[in-house]
Amino acid sequence: MAGIGFELRKMLRRDTLLGMMQAYTYAGLISSGPWILSIVGILMIGVLSLPFVLPTSLITQFQVSVTYLISVSLVLTGPLQLAYTRFTSDRLFEKRDDLVLPNFHAVAFVVTVAATVLGVLAVWLLFPQQTAGYRLLMLAGFVIVANIWIATIFLSGMKQYMSIIVVFLIGYALTTGAALTLNRFRLNGLMSGFVLGQTVLLAGLLTLIYRDYRSDHFISFEVFQKRYRYPSLMWTGFLYNLGIWIDKFMFWYAPGTGQPVIGPLHASIIYDIPVFLAYLAIIPGMAVFLLRIETDFVEYYDAFYDAVREGASLQHIERMRNAMVEALRIGLWEIIKVQTIAAMLLFAAGAVVLAWLRISALYLPLLYVDVIAASLQVVFMGVINVFFYLDRRPIVTGLVGGFVVLNVILTSVTLALNPAWYGYGFAGSLLVVVLASLYLLDRKLDVLEYETFMLQ
């Protein structure tokens, strides 16, 4: 993430309102750009297809199908996302650039094989009533989207943030255009447009990779060797993605909240729409999180460890440690403040937004709870990011594992209660892990000098 901090600090050094606005905009685009473009693209396909695709339930089937492709592919590739990024970063630090591309090919190969096997089994066993065209498109989409996550993670690690956003913009513009052009062919037409656009998106990401990296051999599986594996990072990537989606799956398949949409795929209207709106409210918090953590905190973080490596006096080391802790506290406080303001604005405008979307005002209480939950998730991301900087991987794994377990337990409890409790399971699990993570971070920072000198 160091490249982000460098660009943001350069903008902030101008000490002007324009420079600050540019920094926040840059941070917001990097943190949320691809995700927002994905959501907007899929929504536009649905909205603009309404006059042409009948019955309109086919549009719902398309959007639910794409949601499953995204969610399951994220969980599937989760074990490789962080671990592969760490492997690549270490090899670049060692000046072994020639290993980057061959190991990317190895990871992409493993992901493609895993996605293909899982996808073939799914479309064969779970979609017997659907057309062959739909099943082939679901399989192709699943494999392509899984590879998009790996390519995006790779390019993020290589600090090509704006290039990713440009490729996603082009890819989802083409996805939307192709789906609208082919919507005369109903569900298969919409799915064909999605697959075509995602293929172009993946091709764009691969072009960026091949533009900057060369190697004298095509594939290398060193990334999977025992000495290069990071089990804690693999578990963290898997559990974090699972934790984000597990309550959604539970609501989709609970008898009282989920409805069948197509084949084995279910959706939950009562839960999905408020969650979607709530996640739009975290964009300001994500921008502040990226700006503050990657500028002020990282600056003092580097100064602290430089002082340790260069043999500075204990007084100077403690001063840098105190400055780092203070920058972190100010950063987390700013995230909380900005996210609170964003949540309050959505609280105030919630009824109007729901009315504009022609959604019942009965969704308001759930929307409020989901906004709080999404805001807590931003704080949680900020704290575990700091733990990654401190290289406390087992702590992060334990926290995200606790998040999964709590989310399952508390969501099960709320599903057994009446609808007034919906959403509290997700929010409650995040509240517990946020408080736990803050407590653990406070303890780690208190003994940072001791652990740095005595345990490294």
pLDDT digit string, tens, across residues 126-167: 998 899 999 999 999 999 999 999 988 888 766 677 788 888
Buried b / exposed e across 19-34, counting CB within 10 Å, b at 16+? eeebbbebbbbbbbbb
Region 85-104: mean pLDDT is 85
Return the pLDDT at 301.
Answer: 84
Q: Is residue 249 part of a domain?
A: no
User: pLDDT band at 93, cuts 50/70/90?
Assistant: confident
Environment class of 313 (CB within 10 Å of its CB; exposed 0-12, middle 13-18, buried 19+): exposed
Return the pLDDT at 171.
Answer: 87
CA distance 123 to 141: 12
More confident residue, 325 or 406: 406
Which DSSP string corresponds to 424-439? HHHHHHHHHHHHHHHH
Encoded tokens for 17: 């309102």
Return the pLDDT at 2.
Answer: 46
Return the pLDDT at 218.
Answer: 87
User: pLDDT band at 12, cuts 50/70/90?
Assistant: low
Q: Is residue 266 part of a domain?
A: no
Return the pLDDT at 281.
Answer: 78
Q: Is residue 77 part of a domain?
A: yes
Mean pLDDT for the chain overall: 84
More confident residue, 318 or 265: 265
Return the pLDDT at 1.
Answer: 45
CA distance 208 to 90: 21
CA distance 21 to 26: 8
> Is the pLDDT confidence value at 202 over 90?
yes
SS3 397: helix
Residue with tokens 């578990």: 235
Query: Are both 300 and 222 inside the same structural domain?
Result: no
pLDDT in tens, 382-395: 899 889 888 889 99
Query: Are both 29 and 152 inside the same structural domain?
Result: yes
User: pLDDT band at 20, cuts 50/70/90?
Assistant: low
**Amino acid identity of 407?**
N
Q: Is residue 267 part of a domain?
A: no
Encoded tokens for 208: 């960026």
Query: Are both 216 and 281 inside the same structural domain?
Result: no
pLDDT in tens, 167-184: 888 888 888 888 888 888
Q: Is residue 239 part of a domain?
A: no
Q: Is residue 310 part of a domain?
A: yes
Query: Are both 48 and 166 inside the same structural domain?
Result: yes
Query: Are both 201 and 330 inside the same structural domain?
Result: no
Query: Are both 221 and 305 inside the same structural domain?
Result: no
Encoded tokens for 56: 């309109």
The answer to whether 261 touches 61, Cβ cutoff 8 Å, is yes
Q: CB atoms < 10 A from the CB of 222, how many?
A: 14
Q: Which of 49-53, 229-233, 259-263, 393-397 has the lowest mean pLDDT?
A: 49-53
Q: Which range is most confident: 283-292, 297-306, 378-387?
A: 378-387
Phi, psi of 51 (to 5 degrees): -70, -15
Query: Are both 303 and 217 inside the same structural domain?
Result: no
> Is the pLDDT confidence value at 77 over 70?
yes
Query: Are both 209 and 284 inside the same structural domain?
Result: no
Q: What is the pTM of this model?
A: 0.87
Residue-range definition of the domain harbouring residue 11: 2-229
Q: Provide the number of structural domains found in the chain.
A: 2
Return the pLDDT at 9.
Answer: 58
421, β-bridge pairs: none
Return the pLDDT at 4.
Answer: 55
Query: Are both 220 and 327 inside the same structural domain?
Result: no
Query: Are both 180 and 312 inside the same structural domain?
Result: no
The answer to whether 381 touches 220, Cβ cutoff 8 Å, is no
> Which of these three, 229, 260, 290, is where a domain ends?
229
Query: Are both 180 and 293 inside the same structural domain?
Result: no
Region 72-98: mean pLDDT is 87
More confident residue, 315 or 288: 315
Q: Which range is most confident: 17-21, 23-27, 220-224, 451-455?
A: 220-224
CA distance 206 to 201: 9
Q: Is residue 159 part of a domain?
A: yes
Q: CB atoms < 10 A from the CB of 226, how many?
A: 6
CA distance 163 to 174: 17
More confident residue, 97 or 188: 188
pLDDT in tens, 353-411: 777 766 777 778 888 898 899 889 888 988 998 898 888 899 999 999 999 999 999 99
Query: Are both 221 and 284 inside the same structural domain?
Result: no
C-alpha distances (whole Å) from 189 to each of 64, 116, 128, 173, 446 are 15, 22, 20, 16, 58
Q: Is residue 404 part of a domain?
A: yes
